[in-house]
């Protein structure tokens, strides 16, 4: 079936067979060739040229996906204020700049007061969701996290609090929820076991991470999962496994952005995920899950100056400007070249507004819950 027909089918059925998805996902420009690599480079090139998208196909994908976003959330783009409150991490994910074995990372932690100040400033700027993101830092015990969450909710009861602090026990997730946390972001990173082990040390398990997501959902969180696009050794088949995992999980949010190498990791010389692959996947996800909350990520803005705008035009409807104090921004470096590390929160906020309006969308000042959730 040609791609235009596949896009239309995905738009109405919200699903395709593996073979059909494969036609939409192959070629992964950056990393996906390994699996299908042919010793005959000329033949391989002919194959990938044939698989390249035409402008008409691409336009059709993006326009159809944007229409699906409009049908569920109109032209609204929701803001989340991101507070990167610790870059200590006990894990050692091979791709990540704040992995524990990176001795070059300059470590920091924000205090509760720092975090509350960020929220106050964010509230003034129109943010109604605060995302507390950090490495897996044992300093932040359950008690400390609950104390911070409840203090934010006390001061700003009309705001949502999202946590993004990694894999924990059910009792911890439950405690944060009881303290007032509304949402949780935990990317599964990949749903292919072999690929998972290529990206992570043996101490980490794909099944455990996936189970965390089901636990979070069963507690009542709005849950966000996701992957990096073009991570080392990612194949189209692995991406299709992620799509199947997402269909099973039924998340409220899906965060995807390109993999970008970090100089102090073993993947320093690997190619970054591409703009095209990321935009295609954003649109595919929008068509599969029409009412999903889908961020145009900072990583997408890092690989192309207009990446986030293009993401919105391809169906994204969330942006997460940085609210962290300027003094620490340059230290939360998961990958090289991260944008907005020198800007004040207010600058990022106004810059994002201009960027969003340039796409024909507008900033929505609200909590921006998933449309299935009422408050
Ligand atoms: N490039 C892009 N994204 C990365 N992340 C971690 N390291 C990188 C990198 N080098 C993503 C992971 C993680 C999220 C917080 O950031 O997907 O879940
Ligand atoms: Fe930070 Fe534009 S979003 S400067």
Handedness of CA 11, 184, 295, 293 (dihedral sign): positive
Q: Which ligand is nearest to the CA of 258?
A: 1
Please report the pLDDT score of residue 12 as a whole number: 98
What ligand 2 atom has the least distance to the C-alpha of 355? 2
Q: Give distance in angstroms: CA of 348 to centre of ligand 2.
A: 4
Q: What is the pLDDT along the chain (375 residues), one digit of tens a residue?
A: 799 999 999 999 999 999 999 999 976 655 444 444 444 566 666 666 667 899 999 999 999 999 999 999 999 999 999 999 999 999 999 999 999 999 999 999 999 999 999 999 999 999 999 999 999 999 999 999 999 999 999 999 999 999 999 999 999 999 999 999 999 999 999 999 999 999 999 999 999 999 999 999 999 999 999 999 999 999 999 999 999 999 999 999 999 999 999 999 999 999 999 999 999 999 999 999 999 999 999 999 999 999 999 999 999 999 999 999 999 999 999 999 999 998 889 999 999 999 999 999 999 989 999 999 876
Protein residue whose Cα sits closest to atom 3 of ligand 2 = 348
Q: Which ligand is nearest to the CA of 164?
A: 1
pTM of the model: 0.95
Protein residue whose Cα sits closest to atom 1 of ligand 2 = 348
Determine if ligand 2 sits within 6 Å of the CB of residue 352: yes
Q: Give distance in angstroms: CA of 203 to centre of ligand 1.
A: 18
Query: In the structure encoding, which two tokens stand for residue 125, read together?
Result: 């700027």
Determine if ligand 2 sits within 6 Å of the CB of residue 321: yes
Query: In the structure encoding, which two tokens stand for residue 17, read together?
Result: 């067979």
Determine if ligand 2 sits within 6 Å of the CB of residue 348: yes
**For residues 318 and 312, what is the distance between their CA atoms, to the nearest angstrom?**
8
Q: List CB contacts of 359: < 8 A, sequence separation 6 or more.
A: 309, 312, 313
**For residues 207 and 167, what is the distance between their CA atoms, to the nearest angstrom?**
11
Query: Cα–Cα distances in Å, from 366 out to 115, 149, 201, 305, 363?
Result: 20, 19, 40, 27, 9
Q: Could you give the count of Cα atoms lying within 13 Å of 326 in the half-sphere of its Cβ?
A: 8
Write out residues with Cβ below 6 Å of ligand 1: 95-96, 187, 189, 228, 257, 259-260, 262, 299, 334-335
Please report the pLDDT score of residue 52 as a whole number: 85
Q: Give distance in angstroms: CA of 298 to centre of ligand 2.
A: 9
What ligand 2 atom has the least distance to the C-alpha of 351? 2
Handedness of CA 304, 343, 132, 91 (dihedral sign): positive
Determine if ligand 2 sits within 6 Å of the CB of residue 79: no
Please report the pLDDT score of residue 34 as a whole number: 44
Q: Which ligand is nearest to the CA of 320?
A: 2
What ligand 1 atom has the least distance to the C-alpha of 258? 2
Q: Which ligand is nearest to the CA of 225?
A: 1
Grouping H, G, I as helix, E, B as strand and the rest as coil, residue 192 is: coil
Q: Give distance in angstroms: CA of 93 to centre of ligand 1.
A: 9
Can you list the alpha helix ranges (DSSP code H) found in the chain? 3-13, 18-25, 33-36, 41-51, 55-73, 112-124, 142-155, 170-179, 193-199, 206-219, 236-249, 275-288, 298-303, 307-313, 326-329, 345-357
What ligand 2 atom has the least distance to the C-alpha of 352? 3
Q: Give distance in angstroms: CA of 351 to centre of ligand 2.
A: 5
What ligand 1 atom has the least distance to the C-alpha of 335? 10
Q: List CB contacts of 243: < 8 A, sequence separation 6 or more.
A: 21, 284, 285, 288
């Amino acid at each position: 079936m040609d791609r235009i027909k596949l896009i239309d089918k995905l738009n109405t059925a919200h699903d395709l067979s593996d073979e059909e998805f494969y036609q939409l996902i192959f070629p992964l420009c950056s990393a996906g060739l390994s699996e299908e690599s042919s010793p005959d480079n000329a033949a391989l090139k002919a194959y990938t040229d044939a698989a390249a998208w035409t402008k008409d196909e691409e336009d059709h994908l993006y326009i159809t996906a944007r229409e699906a976003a409009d049908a569920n959330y109109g032209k609204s783009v929701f803001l989340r204020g991101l507070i990167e409150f610790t870059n200590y991490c006990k894990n050692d994910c091979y791709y990540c700049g704040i992995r524990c074995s990176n001795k070059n990372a300059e470590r920091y932690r924000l205090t509760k007061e720092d975090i509350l100040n960020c929220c106050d400033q964010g509230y003034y700027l129109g943010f109604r969701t605060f995302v507390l993101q950090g490495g897996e830092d044992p300093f932040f015990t359950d008690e400390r996290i609950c104390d911070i969450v409840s203090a934010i909710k006390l001061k700003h009861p009309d705001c949502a609090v999202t946590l993004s602090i990694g894999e924990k026990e059910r009792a911890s997730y439950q405690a944060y929820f009881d303290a007032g946390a509304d949402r949780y972001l935990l990317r599964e990173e990949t749903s292919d076991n072999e690929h998972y082990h290529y990206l992570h040390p043996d101490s980490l398990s794909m099944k455990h991470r996936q189970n965390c997501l089901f636990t979070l959902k069963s507690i009542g969180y709005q849950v966000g999962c996701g992957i990096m696009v073009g991570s080392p050794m990612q194949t189209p088949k692995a991406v299709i496994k992620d799509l199947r995992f997402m269909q099973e999980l039924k998340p409220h949010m899906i965060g995807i952005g390109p993999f970008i190498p970090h100089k102090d990791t073993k993947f320093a010389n690997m190619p970054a995920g591409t703009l095209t692959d990321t935009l295609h996947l954003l649109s595919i996800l929008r068509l599969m899950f029409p009412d999903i909350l889908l961020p145009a990520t900072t990583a997408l803005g890092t690989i192309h100056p207009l990446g986030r705008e293009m993401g919105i035009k391809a169906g994204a409807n969330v942006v997460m400007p940085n609210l962290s104090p300027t003094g620490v921004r340059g230290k939360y470096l998961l990958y090289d070249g991260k944008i907005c590390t020198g800007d004040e929160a207010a600058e990022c906020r106004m810059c994002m507004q201009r960027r969003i309006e340039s796409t024909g969308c507008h900033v929505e000042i609200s909590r921006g819950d998933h449309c299935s959730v009422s408050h």
